[in-house]
Structure 1
Amino acid sequence: MTLKRITDAFSTFIDLVAEAVLALGALLHASGTTRLVEGPDGSFTLEGAGDTPAPPPFRLDASPLPPGLAAALKEQEVELALQPGHFLFRPLELPRRAGEFLDGIVRAQIDRLTPWNAADAVFGWTAPAPLGDDRIALTVAATARGRIAPLVEAVKTLGAKTIAVSTLPVGADAPIRVHAHTTAGTPKPARVRRILTGTLAGAGLAALLALLLADVAGGSLDRELDDLNRQIAARRLVLTTSNGGEAGRALATLERRKHEGAPTVLVLDALAEVLPDHTFVTEMHVEGLKLQVMGVSQDAPALIRLMEQSRRFTRATFFAPTTRAAEEAGERFHIEAQIRTPFGGTP
């Protein structure tokens, strides 16, 4: 995408937003429009002036104007409803997709549809009506800018806030607005457009500044984090070295005991592989590489031989007398043995 396309897209976006803002403002502030309706003889009547008594019909190009007219129009939104005889009407058919770009299309064809070019004419169009074959139809109304300029200037001198010029074609249901003017000096769309552009530019600069500050702050935080990690690594090295004092020796001892001790679950599993089915273990103790196991068996002496033959245990011996109780179906034994590798080294 070229720079020109990006610029055009941004300009179109700003125009659409400006129109939306103006439409919303008009909706929020709409308090009724004062209408000056032109009659067939060129005289005007006042409509929608609220409690102000309406003057008799008058001409805007005559002097003096009716008393109280200036008070009725001051700071008001005024619509000049002109007779259709002032305007030239031309039908126009377009593809349906052209409905999104009517302003530019109609403006480009004014010199073909009328005797005037776009700069010398005021114009408007009806709402597009759908046709067959994916097309739309509308009617363009146009007149010379110089024809309505005296009327707009006369209403402007009476203090109107905004002035809109419209006409109602014969047989039409809705008027066509051909011109809008504000007495604030600068057309409203242009003013809103400048405000929006300035706001977006300010927001962009603020975002850029925030990114720069975040980059600087992030770099500083990264450096501090690296510092902390180096300090932690150095402290760990001191604690784990053999010359690290009492704390280092204690840590080394715990680490050695963790690797030299036999896991109780694995010892119990190995013991279950060695003992026969008629033997039941009631108590077991593991301390380092030393195992003590107590229980009941129908052949207690054979257990010593079985444990000695196992790859898991060595130096098996009774550390208490073997006894037999009347209510038990076997001999109660107390055996002590050393645990072999892979759980840990033999002493």
Structure 2
Amino acid sequence: MTSLRDRMGRQLARWTGTGGFFAWWGHSLAAWLPRRWRLALGLDRGRLLLQADGDAVQLRLQDGDGMRDLARVPDLAAAGADVLATLLSPELAELPRWLLLPAASGLRRRLLLPAAAAERLRDVVAFEIDRQTPFAADAVAFDARLLGRRGSDGQLDAELVVVPREALSAQLDALGPLAGQLAGIDVAGGSGTPLGVNLLPQAQRRQQLDPWRAWNWVFGALALLALAMMLWQVLDNRDRAAQALQARADREARAARAVALQRQQLVDLVEGRAFLDRLRNARPTAIEVLDALARRLPDNTYLEKLAIENDRLLLIGLSSEASALVGRLEGARPWRSPALTGALQPDPRSGRDRFTLTADLAIAPAAAPAPAAPEPADAGHD
């Protein structure tokens, strides 16, 4: 876990340590995080400063809370490489170890450089050592730091820091076996706070091996797999919810269609019943026809057949006054236009004439259907 945190801290420091906007943006974001989160991400673990003070070495911790003294080792060269593990806690002993040089041991020069030099600031200032300092480039350990940018033309305000190798060798000798375990060399400012440079060449900086690297890759792969499974589960849940919603919508649509069909059937039934009622009310009933015939036919008239077919009335029978039947039947309310069909035929057995008489039923014009009452408006739309 510590190795993963260290590597994350180095990576984040690499992303945010190039200066300019990304440096400001990265440090600003990190400042908003709680201290425990910054420690977990490796952004604020700090570093262990070794500062030679005569024959002794002062151990200091620098982190987001500032600098504080940890211990003082009288003779670090004789104490051995394991003295830090004895004096400090394991968490502090694992911190990167930096040699802090006194302010008087270094030479600082302000430089104005073009904006394009920001990406390779250390390589650019290497050509300025001979002109800005009385030393040759191969006789000093050097680094540069970015102080700011000019808003008008974007030029860089940088500072060159050099330390003669002779003075540096004396400081390294005071560290004894710890000199080969340094992650960097910094120079103290006027207030004693480190400037934030690294005079140690890249090839000599200690690179801590990460025994958990393979496990971290495994954990990272598992995290990616878990993330993929989580996203797949979310998509699957959404798909299931969509299918359930579609099934519910289909059920409600089928129910709505069934209700609409039943409503239409009911409307058709009501309209058909009303149509039949109108037809029935417009036609004379059989009782009315029989009553009118009984009142108008003479007593010597006998009917053999009485039929109502559609709108026609058919009478077949025998009568002694067959020729006068048309006159008797005219003017009746249930029918109109009575007439004899064919010739009268004498019946020798009864002594009467056989007749066939037809008439049209008196059908009143059908009344127009009453308009349907409008459905009451939904109270929710008032």
Q: Pick the TM interval, shorter chain.
A: 0.3 to 0.5
- Give the TM-score taking structure 2 as reference length: 0.38
Larger radius of gyration between Structure 1 and Structure 2: 2
- Give the TM-score taking structure 1 as reference length: 0.40
